[in-house]
């Protein structure tokens, strides 16, 4: 099916659904405006200039753009320091660097949002037996489950932290492949408050992937010690070609830089290879691009609710990440949904997604993404594990208009079949 095959009836349904979303879209635009102001202020106060866009090679010493970008990120995130590097290969890599900055052999990590995302379980050592995991280095692990409603169990967190005084706690902001809510900044702030009250020296690490710029504050604004994320998600604005970021306390950023490169080198080396302009431009675009992704998610929820499917968050619910869950009930529906998303992509629209055994996952996963940047989650994509209840996790959309078309094709594939 092609974009031009979407029926007039489906467009009419879309118009009817959109009519009920105007106020929600206005709220999203207001958040984007405030976040844009914060980003613009950082660009201006850190004196971003055309010279920052020049790249370096070799060792990358004295890369003005790289060093200025660190300062811009630190200001945007309300942090002492930041580390923004193309050498981070994905979000898992940045979170791993943050954890190794906060932990040493003999320490214990406490996850306070239940079991972390699949790929992080290998990093920690609670899945697989990989060389170099936290477990390999003698770092223990414990967790506090979420409540039955998928929310932080504040009392249990206070009690466990007070009893064990872990060296670090991990907060996963987004939902991963779980039927749980993303955490709001207020909820993260309450976790931080309780952790610090029970154990002031415990380092709070936040996996911020998919959550940046969905609200007007970031976890570091409410006391998190270090946050981590990917540049091919929200903060890259859809144009950053690779990389990740950390923002937080100076000491932790310095330790993470030693982990990324090597002790004694830290953040002083690392050629930018001509990518600085794209990293700056991506951050500049990020508040607007995230708003487009949020509108796409809201429309997806509204349309599939109208079609009789269970969606979470619901169309008018608050949004604390860009991920939309659609419970599709059968493996056939999940495959058709992803096929439609792929057909609605500007790149590789002719490709048919198939489930496969991805590294780091315990079952086959199907993924649809026709992106300008390979694996970019801020561009429209959908994926899901091939297990009950066959949930599609939808994220991204560089423009609302294109995102809407992709959602309509996903619905058309299911309805026509």
* Tens digits of residue pLDDT in 196-252: 999 999 999 999 999 999 999 999 999 999 999 999 999 999 999 999 999 999 999
User: What is the per-residue pLDDT for 60?
Assistant: 95
The dihedrals phi and psi of 244, each to the nearest 5 degrees, come to -155, 175
- According to the model, what pLDDT value does residue 413 have? 95
Q: How confident is the model at residue 415 (pLDDT cuts 50, 70, 90)?
A: confident
51-86 pLDDT per residue, tens: 999 999 999 999 999 999 999 999 999 999 999 999
The predicted structure's pLDDT at residue 176: 75
Question: Residue 395: enclosing H or E segment and its boundaries?
Answer: strand 391-395
Task: Report the share of the chain in percent with pLDDT over 90.
Answer: 93
pLDDT tier at 360, thresholds 50, 70, 90:
low
Residue pLDDT, tens place only, 285-309: 999 999 999 999 999 999 999 999 9
DSSP three-state, residue 101:
helix
Mean pLDDT of 152-164: 98
CA dist 138 → 143, 160, 167 (Å): 17, 20, 13
pLDDT digits (tens, 9 = 90+) for 388-411: 999 999 999 999 999 999 999 999
DSSP track, 192-253: HHHHHHH-TT-EEEEE-TTTTTSSSS-GGGGT-SEEEEETTSGGGTTT--S-EEEEE-HHHH
Would you say 410 and 340 are in contact if contact means Cβ atoms under 8 Å apart?
Answer: yes
Give the model confidence (pLDDT) of 131-155 as tens digits: 999 999 999 999 999 999 989 999 9
How far does the chain reach from its first CA to its final CA, in angstroms?
Answer: 11
pLDDT exceeding 70 applies to what percent of the chain? 99
What is d(CA 360, CA 123) in angstroms, rounded to the nearest whole number? 10
**DSSP codes, 21-65:** THHHHHHHHHHHHHHHHHHHHHHHHTT--GGGG----TT-TT-HH
pLDDT category of residue 6 using cuts at 50, 70 and 90: very high
For 78, residues 6+ apart whose C-beta sits below 8 A from its C-beta are 217, 218, 220, 221
Task: Count CB neighbours of 352 within 10 A.
Answer: 11
What pLDDT is attached to residue 416? 72
Q: Which of 179-183, 216-220, 335-339 has the lowest mean pLDDT?
A: 179-183
pLDDT of residue 175: 84
Q: Extract long-range pairs of 255-258: CB within 8 Å, 24+ residues apart.
A: 255/100, 255/101, 255/102, 256/83, 256/97, 256/98, 256/100, 256/101, 256/226, 257/83
| Tens-place pLDDT, residues 250-290 | 999 999 999 999 999 999 999 999 999 999 999 999 999 99
Q: How many CB atoms are closer than 10 A to CB 127?
A: 18
The pLDDT-based confidence of 119 (bands split at 50, 70, 90) is confident
Average pLDDT over residues 356-371: 85
Reported as a pLDDT band with limits 50, 70 and 90, residue 417 is low
How far is the C-alpha of 125 from the C-alpha of 406, rounded, in Å? 38
| Mean pLDDT, rounded, for 153-161 | 98
Whether the CB-CB separation of 272 and 383 falls below 8 Å is answered with no
């Amino acid at each position: 099916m092609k974009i031009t095959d979407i029926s007039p009836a489906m467009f009419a349904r879309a118009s009817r659904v959109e009519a009920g979303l105007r106020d929600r879209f206005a709220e999203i635009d207001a958040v984007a405006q405030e976040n844009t102001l914060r980003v613009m202020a950082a660009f201006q106060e850190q004196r971003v200039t055309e010279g920052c866009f020049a790249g370096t090679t070799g060792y990358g010493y004295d890369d003005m753009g790289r060093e200025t970008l660190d300062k811009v990120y630190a200001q945007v995130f309300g942090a002492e320091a930041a580390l923004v590097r193309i050498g981070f290969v994905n979000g898992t890599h940045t979170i791993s660097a943050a954890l190794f900055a906060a932990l040493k052999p003999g320490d214990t990590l406490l996850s306070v949002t239940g079991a972390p995302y699949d790929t992080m379980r290998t990093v920690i050592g609670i899945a697989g037996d990989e060389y170099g995991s936290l477990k390999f280095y003698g770092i223990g692990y414990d967790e506090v489950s979420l409540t039955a409603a998928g929310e932080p169990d504040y009392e249990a967190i206070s009690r466990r932290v007070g009893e064990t005084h872990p060296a670090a706690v991990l907060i996963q902001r987004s939902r991963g492949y779980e039927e749980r809510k993303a955490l709001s900044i207020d909820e993260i702030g309450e976790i931080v408050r309780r952790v610090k009250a029970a154990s002031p020296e415990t380092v709070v690490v936040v996996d911020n992937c998919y959550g940046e710029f969905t609200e007007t504050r970031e976890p570091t604004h409410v006391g998190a010690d270090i946050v981590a994320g990917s540049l091919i998600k929200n903060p890259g604005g859809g144009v950053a070609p690779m990389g990740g970021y950390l923002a937080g306390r100076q000491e932790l950023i310095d330790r993470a830089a030693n982990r990324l490169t090597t002790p004694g080198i830290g953040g002083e080396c690392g050629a930018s290879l001509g990518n600085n302009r794209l990293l700056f431009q991506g951050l500049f675009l990020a508040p607007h691009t995230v708003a487009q992704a949020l509108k796409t998610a809201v429309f997806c929820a509204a349309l599939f609710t109208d079609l009789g499917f269970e969606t979470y968050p619901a169309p008018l619910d608050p949004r604390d990440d860009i991920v939309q869950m659609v419970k599709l009930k059968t493996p056939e529906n999940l495959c058709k949904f992803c096929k439609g998303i792929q057909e609605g992509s500007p790149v590789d629209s002719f490709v048919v997604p198939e489930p496969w055994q991805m590294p780091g996952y315990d079952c086959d996963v199907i993924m649809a993404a026709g992106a300008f940047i390979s694996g970019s989650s801020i561009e429209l994509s959908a994926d899901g594990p091939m297990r009950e209840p066959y949930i599609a996790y939808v994220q991204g959309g560089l423009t609302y208009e294109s995102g809407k078309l992709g959602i309509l094709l996903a619905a058309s594939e299911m309805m026509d079949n």
